[in-house]
Amino acid sequence: MKTVSFTETCLPIPKTPCLLSCRLWICCCFLNILCKHDSSSISKLNQVVGTKMIWVAVIGDWFNLIFKWILFGHRPYWWVQETMIYPNQSSPCLEQFPITCETGPGSPSGHAMGSSCVWYVMVTAALSYTVRWKDKLAVTLHRLTWSFLWSIFWIIQISVCISRVFIATHFPHQVILGVFAGILVAEAFEHTPAIQTASLRMYIKTNLFLFIFALGFYLSLKLLDIDLLWSVPKAKKWCANPDWINIDTTPFAGLVRNLGALFGLGLGINSEMFVTSCKGKNSCKLSFRILCIAASLATLQLYNFIKIPTHTEYLFYILSFCKSAAMPLTVVALVPYCVHSLMKTTEKKLN
């Protein structure tokens, strides 16, 4: 069976930010905005939540990749063209959009899984603030908050699921599976406190394990003459517009981004810059956090304008890894350190 190279079948990366970049935008900013110097339980929880969100997003995407390789799920936009269910070529005509032609297998939905796991962490973190309230009025408020937040959670998940089905990228069962798989991953990290004290060595070991396992799984099936890139030719064949096919949506591209993001987080929170800035006296100031928000959003927006060349497959992977690592490193450590240094210099001049 012929193996298809990503760069032979896919065109340049889309200008829109990838899903992982959007998650990191939320997660990394949340981590920096909320880090404080005081030792209260709420302050500690803020950093815990920020770190957990990135871990959940990365590991959730990794599990999604493995599940897709195992389940061999078809996508509607090519399935209706090849199925023998419809007689006399009476298959329905599905409208395609620029974001329809993803090249990987379809089950479970990565968007649904990623959305549910990240939002699950956010909702449970918010509710953990109110669950400690003891008086009667506070208990009532907690119940109302619980109902409101979980309603919002399910509205978001249903909206994501409907949108993915509408653009003919997923079947209903694929998005439903993605939602519940994401919840399971997020819930698992509720009982994994070790990630909060993980050293850089642990981050590197985790990265190596994720990479070796995924690559080993891919090569093992390849030896059995099972091509895990079977979906790429189908996407190329049945996509209404070749310009809509992107290397950014291939399985290994997502894996490289995940590994880079996790490595960047480990490098950032274990750096002296993070300790100096997010645990210094300026970190509890409102001005520090506002400047971190503005600088982080501006910097991440600039990263989205960086175009990675696609003419060489291995160069694309290396640069994707570096870009993904740079994003959390910049927001978690570099931006706060620069803001901290700027405020420190300003204070010295005023004194």
How far apart CA 194 and CA 191 sit, in angstroms, is 9
pLDDT at 16 over 80: no
Please tell me the predicted confidence (pLDDT) of residue 87.
Answer: 73
- Residue-wise pLDDT tens digits, 194-252: 998 899 999 999 999 999 999 999 999 889 988 888 988 999 899 988 888 876 666 78
Task: Select which of 111, 142, 173, 311 is catalytic.
Answer: 111
- What average pLDDT does the segment 312-332 reach? 87
246 pairs with which residues across the strands? 11
Read off the pLDDT band of 172 (50, 70, 90): very high
User: Phi then psi for 11, rounded to 5 degrees?
Assistant: -105, 180
Please tell me the predicted confidence (pLDDT) of residue 46.
Answer: 65
DSSP assignment of 274-334 equals: HHHHHTSGGGGSHHHHHHHHHHHHHHHHHHTTPPPP-SSHHHHHHHHHHHHHHHHHIIIII
DSSP assignment of 170-226 equals: --HHHHHHHHHHHHHHHHHHTT-GGGGG--HHHHHHHHHHHHHHHHHHHHHHHHTT-
Active site residue 111: yes
Active site residue 191: no
C-alpha count within 13 angstroms, C-beta hemisphere, residue 207: 21
60 pairs with which residues across the strands? none
Would you mind telling me the total number of residues written for the chain in this entry?
351
- What average pLDDT does the segment 309-313 reach? 77
- What average pLDDT does the segment 63-86 reach? 90
Give the SS3 label for residue 11: strand
Q: Binding site: which residues?
A: 75, 164
Q: What is the pTM of this model?
A: 0.83
Contact criterion met (CB below 8 Å) for 37 and 277: no
Please tell me the predicted confidence (pLDDT) of residue 22.
Answer: 45
- What average pLDDT does the segment 268-282 reach? 80
Q: How far is CA 305 from the centre of its chain?
A: 18
Please tell me the predicted confidence (pLDDT) of residue 328.
Answer: 86
Amino acid at site 116? S
Structural domain spans, the chain: 6-350
Q: Binding site for substrate: which residues?
A: 75, 164
Task: Select which of 37, 74, 142, 170 is catalytic.
Answer: 170
pLDDT at 67 over 90: yes
pLDDT at 349 over 90: no
Contacts of 346 (CB under 8 A, 6+ apart): none
Residue 211: both structure tokens together: 């990479």
